[in-house]
Chains A and B, each alone.
Chain A
Amino acid sequence: MNFEMIGITVLWTFLYGYVIVASIDFGAGFFNYYAMETGQHQKVSHIIQRYLSPVWETTNVFFVFFFVGIVGFYPDTAYYLGTSLLIPGSIALILLSIRGSYYAFNSSATKPRKSWAFLYGVTGLLIPASLSIVLVISEGGYIYEDAGGVQLDIEELLFSSYAWTVVFLAIILVLYVSSGFLTYYASKAKNKSAMETFRKWFLIWSLPMIVISQFTFLSLREHNFEHFQSAQDYWYLFGLSLLTMLIAIFLFWKRRNLGLAFILIMLQIAFAFYGYGISKLPYILYPFIDINTSVVNESMAFALTIVFILGLVLLIPSLYLLLRLFIFDKDYVEGREEEGY
């Protein structure tokens, strides 16, 4: 494999990781606030906190990793996306900052506040919306280059049906994935009533999820027909995505094998996400950034690849340890902790 393919595969995989962990994270923050508003706080919030506390910071690093990596492997992205995204990017950054800090403020404060829970709950839904704009722009048609440099056509973006479909897809995805995960997590915690609540939320969000994913295809066809055509070559990936989704919903419906059901959700998203990614190639930003011509110089690409492999040798066991301690550890999940020193 050549460096431009290695680079994009690595980055896409990290972005996928971010989509999963961030969806759980953002959705959990939102559900936490929703539960407060509807008086279900006592029932579900400690489950949410127990999961979020040790991992929220790691979630954020997935994102940092992706954008540092993409600028490293393809420096042109800094120029085109950096210039055109000044305003949307700044909005996303401000939302991310509010969410990250107010989550920590609220969970450390002696007395948690509802207004702070509101801040990180609501920003949790706005962040996926604002970040998904980057994917929209990467389809091309929203930025142009003139004598003054790269410009973003905000009007075009604002009135584009494709952009809005992707934004809604991002929001629904967050609610769908996180309610699915929380159902599984609550069932591991043997907390029946919380599990039932999360399951109900999951089933509520699965219908719009099916609808919106079909809609996205239709509007992509409108917006970038070339990409839509090449996506059809990978129809089997999208078919598998739909199939895994239906099985997952069935399992949640039947309250059976929730662990497997959540893995199916991850697969569902993986199939769709990689299918979308592969069919997009060779463009990162249509038509300005083609991975074949914009990859970083060879010696740097080589160094990045080596560092990446060494980094994984460190990260994978550490992440495994984190999962062992906070997700797969029965006592922790159930809230029973051993006496220490």
Chain B
Amino acid sequence: MDEVLLGRIITASTLGFHIIFATIGVGIPIVIMVMEFLGIRKKDTQYLTMARRIAKGFTVTIAVGVVTGTIIGLQLSLIWPDFMRLGGQIIALPLFMEVFAFFFEAIFLGIFLYTWDRFKNPWHHWLLNIPIVVGSTLSAVFITSVNSFMNTPSGFELSEEMFVNIDPIAAMLNPSVYVRVFHVVATAYMTAAFILGSIAAFKLIKNKFQKDAEYHKKALKVTMSIGIVTALLTILAGDFSAKFLHNEQPEKLAAMEWHYETETHADLVLFGVLDEENQEVNYALRIPWALSFLSGNSFDTEVTGLNDIPEDEHPPLVIHYFFDLMVVFGMYAFGVALLYFIIKKFTRFNEHHPALLYLYFLAGPLSMMAIEAGWFLAEMGRQPWIIRGYMRVSEAVTNADGLGIVLVSFIVLYAVLGFTCSYVLVKMFNNSSAESSREEYYGEGVDAK
């Protein structure tokens, strides 16, 4: 295998593994914050127990998130040294700020997790949520800004293969940063909520500890509420993304839609099989004119096709499938949350019917797969560039030997970490009922309201 491909697979596996934990790391704090708020506000120890139990599991996932984040931070220099030498002149600022945000979060997370019983006034402990949410969300913001710069570089001039006249702020606030930050943060919140919803649904299906039913129903309600709001925001973000791609990265839009001819009244293509020879898409679901409308809110919007983009700058066409998966999985989660509330509010059916519980359960894993598909779409969609328009991936890879062995070692590491992490989490909650945790934390006499 050639070095570029090896380098790309190493980075893809590190990031593919890291974003599972990073997404949880960005999203869970906000759920914990809401649950602790409800618990203190309603004086309901079930919500408080929920916050505490989630926080306990969160410690384990955050550990894996921290170590894989450290890995990717250093791997950028190890695998792509030329990129960091050139790009380091510009992305240093958001990278540095990301570390600060993370530092801030790490300090308060340490305090938060070990001070549940140390404050007389519970609101003081709740306040610790604020720096954690701010820190985790800001790290997502800054790191997304780095990635956005690689997609839509700005804030410099190029002279003899060196960046000059650099404006660090303009580089951070590059054209795609707002849309991407919005999309990343909304989907992280959404995914974390649906993952916790899945756990609640799963526990209700298994019904191992019958006295826990009320607890898990409450958990399902909170997570579905957060889920539906953030899913709506995600849909909005997706709409912005289409417009931004149309304006800033037309080749990615064309590749992900298999759109060859530049035209107005362009169709949106879902699924299908591509016949590359004849540039024809078979068996697809076509929504007439929708692509033009999504790109510019008008059917007359002219959408650039692949034929107007130099052949050696075409992104791989496989990203169309990632796009489909992302949209379908994301919509599924939104649909499930909607269904839950429709049944609960407007019908006389039981919203906890086992068949429905299975549907809710799927929303979490599918949202996470939507995140993966979305990142594969975004990252493969800017091939062959590492800094779009300025540096190709093939020019950035290290010349050091040993990429093959590095790849194997890291894949083994991720398999072991992933396995142990799941094992610890399952062990942690499988045999301890929520009610017994509540009694342990808050005493037996306290009644749940």
Contacts and interface: CB of A to CB of B under 8 A. Distances in A.
The answer to whether A binds B is: yes
Interface of A: 53-55, 57-58, 60-61, 63-65, 67-69, 71-73, 75-87, 89-90, 93-94, 96-98, 100-105, 108-110, 148-152, 296-297, 299-300, 303-304, 307-308, 311, 314-315, 318-319, 321-322, 325-326, 332, 337-341
A63 B74 CA distance: 11
A331 to B, nearest CB: 8
B103 interface: yes
B409 A90 contact: yes
Interface string B338-381: 00000000000000000000000000000000000000000000
- Chain B contact residues (Cβ within 8 angstroms of A): what range? 35 or more
B388 to A, nearest CB: 19
Interface string B52-86: 00001001101110111111011111111110111
Given A85-B78, A93-B75, A297 B166 contact: yes
Among all A-B residue pairs, the 9 with the closest Cβ atoms: A75-B88, A72-B92, A104-B63, A78-B84, A82-B81, A82-B77, A340-B117, A54-B110, A149-B399
A75 B107 contact: no
B417 A101 contact: yes
B166 A300 contact: yes
B116 interface: yes
Contacts of A73: 92
Interface of B: 40, 48, 56, 59-60, 62-64, 66-71, 73-82, 84-90, 92-93, 95-100, 102-104, 106-111, 113-122, 125, 131, 163-164, 166-169, 398-403, 405-406, 409-410, 413, 417, 420-421, 424, 427-428, 431-432
Contacts of A67: 73-74, 77
Contacts of B84: 71, 75, 78-79, 82
Contact of B110 (A57, A93, A102, A314): A57
B399 A89 contact: no
B119 to A, nearest CB: 6
B116 A296 contact: no
Which interface residue of A57, A60, A338 has the most chain B CB atoms within 10 A? Answer: A57
Given A65-B103, A93-B70, A109 B89 contact: no
Contacts of A322: 107, 110-111
A55 B89 CA distance: 32
19 contacts: A60-B67, A61-B106, A71-B77, A75-B86, A82-B84, A93-B75, A94-B409, A101-B64, A105-B424, A108-B428, A149-B400, A303-B169, A304-B92, A311-B100, A318-B107, A325-B114, A325-B118, A338-B117, A338-B118
Given A67-B74, A90-B406, A83 B398 contact: yes
Contacts of A337: 117-118
Contacts of B410: 90, 94
B108 A318 contact: yes
Contact of B85 (A79, A297, A341): A79
Contacts of B421: 101, 105
Given A57-B106, A341-B122, A326 B114 contact: yes
Contacts of A296: 88-89, 92
Nearest to B398: A83
B427 A109 contact: yes
A290 to B, nearest CB: 15
A318 B104 contact: yes
A339 B116 CA distance: 9
B78 A90 contact: yes
Contacts of A105: 60, 63, 420-421, 424
A150 B81 CA distance: 11
Contacts of A90: 78, 406, 409-410
A10 to B, nearest CB: 11
Contacts of B79: 86
Contacts of A308: 96
A97 to B, nearest CB: 4
B56 A325 contact: no
